[in-house]
Structure 1
Amino acid sequence: MARGTMHTQKETRRRRNAPTHDSTSLTRDGEVRGPSLFDLTGREDWSETVIRWFDTWRRAPQAQVFEATDWARLGLLAAIVESYSRKPSAAALSEIRMNEERLGATFVDRMRARMHIEAEDGDDAPVVSLVDARADLAARLRSGSD
């Protein structure tokens, strides 16, 4: 005879650690948000890589919820991105990755932050049709074309 209480069956278990906050719905509208890189840093001589990186963040759906502190973080991170583009290092990449993770850079980061980007019409990933390479090659050889 087993001692102690029996565990609840998996089918009847109830989650007790309910989410502490709701999810945030974002839209992919391409609007430029936040301050310019010059306004954040006082510098105009940024490399093209850093300008493109910062512009990506300004147009990202996550920028809809950014506060002044988030933009300040990106301003500080710009120097590390520039340094990394000139001389890549594991330490710089780790710092960039960690900071971007906090801002919701990847799909998994947004899932953890309960951010949801609403899909627009025609925003679906392209569908790739499968082709039987052997049958395709045989048909091309029969027709005499490449």
Structure 2
Amino acid sequence: MSVRPRSRIVGVSALAFVVVLGGLTALRAWNLEPPTAVQSLVVDAGAVLVVAGVAAHVARGENIGTRAGEGIVLAFGPCLGFAANLFVPVSTMESPLWVAYPLVAGAALALAVGGVGAAVGYVVRVVRKNGTAIGRTS
């Protein structure tokens, strides 16, 4: 079981940030606004993909405390990209503290989505470990 270096985890999160923010900004710039139901489906599918990625990462880990934290870092990139795309156009008109809106929203989303992914990954790891242990004793 190989443990990836933290710099790679931060790099994957940064890449996810660029892809999500770039993709959503391009859609906004090109005035491609699908119906609300389609937008909701895309957001839900994105959240499921992030949760699945974090769960897979945590399930492979050795130390749940470290891996859960890394899972939240993984989730931070796409969550911050989504929050920045959502809040920056609106919040720049509101206050000079507009930078806080996407940062706080991105961190809250990453904590929620990353936490769910970490919990799912931990359950998968425990079930897999117990299933293997039961298989060995029989």
TM-score, normalisation: structure 2 = 0.26
Larger Rg: 1
Q: Which has the higher contact order (CA 8 A, sep 6+)?
A: 2
Higher strand residue share: 1
